[in-house]
């Protein structure tokens, strides 16, 4: 039996709203039409998905299971649509994603010179979505900061760059020309300790069992706000620190801190005549 994805999309709207009227408004369809589509889906699946009363609409156990399964299916279908559309437009529009601190202007200029008929679009990413934009079709290539999950991707190294410690301006080490990671052993790190194993291995708070859950920041600006406020320190690539300078935060070199590695990534299944040219241009540029 083939399940109509449109009906599944309607079901998810009702399941998330738990109100047929609000779901109909969200979908821009009439409520009676929505009710008929849900009944048709229940008939197809031969299960009851909702329990409706005058006061509330609730999911049955079958409905809860369908909601759990439906979300990734719809996301996959949307990604497929984006990749298909992208493949059709790739010969005239090419999207390059990039992480904060990385300047892609030289690559864009070289590509525009080599293929003047091509429109190059840019997409700024974060640690959270630098790979996701490739899988869901928003970008053709992504200039990523490693490590990443490389499954399904082709990854070409571009360059390494130093990482620095971002400290509040009144920090005891803020005036030092260079420090060692052990100098930060008493500080709190505002990121996942696994991202900075050198600090993790010497951190006093971890050794004493006082470690706190790693906070989730949506942007580098948000992270630096917390550094400036004295909530802790952060370790970021030098180019990012240079790009986001501010008077209340100081970047200090750490001599025994490993570099950040930058690479070009794209889906291994992607077929485009532009991709090899972009990869060659990126690998030949003097990034650092």
The pTM of the full predicted model, rounded to 2 decimals, is 0.66
Res. 92 pLDDT band, cuts 50 70 90: confident
Say yes or no: 33 and 46 in one domain: yes
Residue 166 burial class via C-beta count within 10 angstroms: exposed 0-12, middle 13-18, buried 19 and up? buried
* The pLDDT of residue 120: 93
Domain end: 85, 110, 130, which one? 85
Query: What mean pLDDT is reported for the chain?
Result: 90
Say yes or no: 63 and 189 in one domain: no
As a whole number of angstroms, the distance between CA 90 and CA 142 comes to 15
Percent of the chain surpassing pLDDT 90:
69
User: How many domains is the chain partitioned into structurally?
Assistant: 3
- 234-237 and 163-168 beta bridge pairing: antiparallel
Find the CATH number of the domain harbouring 250: 3.40.190.10
On the question of pLDDT at 89 being above 70, the answer is: no
The 8-class DSSP code of residue 182 comes to: G
- The domain in which residue 19 lies consists of 5-85
On the question of pLDDT at 90 being above 60, the answer is: no
As a whole number of angstroms, the distance between CA 217 and CA 232 comes to 13
């Amino acid at each position: 039996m083939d399940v109509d994805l449109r009906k599944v999309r309607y079901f998810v709207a009702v399941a998330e709203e738990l109100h047929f009227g609000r779901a109909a408004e969200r979908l821009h369809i009439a409520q009676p039409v929505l009710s008929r589509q849900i009944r048709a889906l229940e008939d197809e699946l031969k299960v009851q998905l909702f329990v409706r009363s005058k006061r509330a609409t609730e999911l049955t156990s079958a409905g809860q299971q369908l909601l759990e399964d439906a979300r990734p299916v719809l996301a996959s279908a949307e990604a497929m649509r984006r990749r298909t559309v992208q493949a059709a437009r790739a010969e005239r529009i090419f999207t390059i994603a990039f992480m904060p601190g990385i300047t892609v202007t030289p690559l864009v200029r070289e590509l525009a010179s080599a293929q003047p008929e091509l429109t190059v679009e840019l997409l700024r990413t974060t640690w959270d979505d630098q790979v996701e934009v490739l899988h869901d079709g928003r970008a053709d290539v992504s200039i990523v900061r490693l490590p990443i999950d490389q499954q399904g991707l082709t990854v070409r190294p571009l360059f390494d760059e130093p990482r620095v410690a971002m400290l509040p301006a009144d920090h005891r080490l803020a005036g030092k020309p260079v420090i060692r990671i052990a100098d930060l052993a008493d500080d709190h790190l505002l990121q996942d300790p696994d991202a900075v194993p050198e600090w993790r291995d010497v951190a006093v708070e971890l050794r004493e069992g006082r470690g706190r859950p790693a906070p989730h920041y949506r942007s580098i600006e948000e992270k630096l706000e917390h550094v400036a406020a004295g909530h802790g320190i952060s370790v970021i690539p030098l180019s990012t620190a240079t790009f986001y300078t501010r008077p209340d935060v100081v970047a200090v070199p750490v001599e025994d801190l490993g570099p950040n590695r930058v690479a070009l990534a794209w889906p291994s299944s992607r077929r485009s005549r532009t991709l090899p040219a972009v990869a060659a241009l990126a690998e030949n540029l003097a990034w650092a």
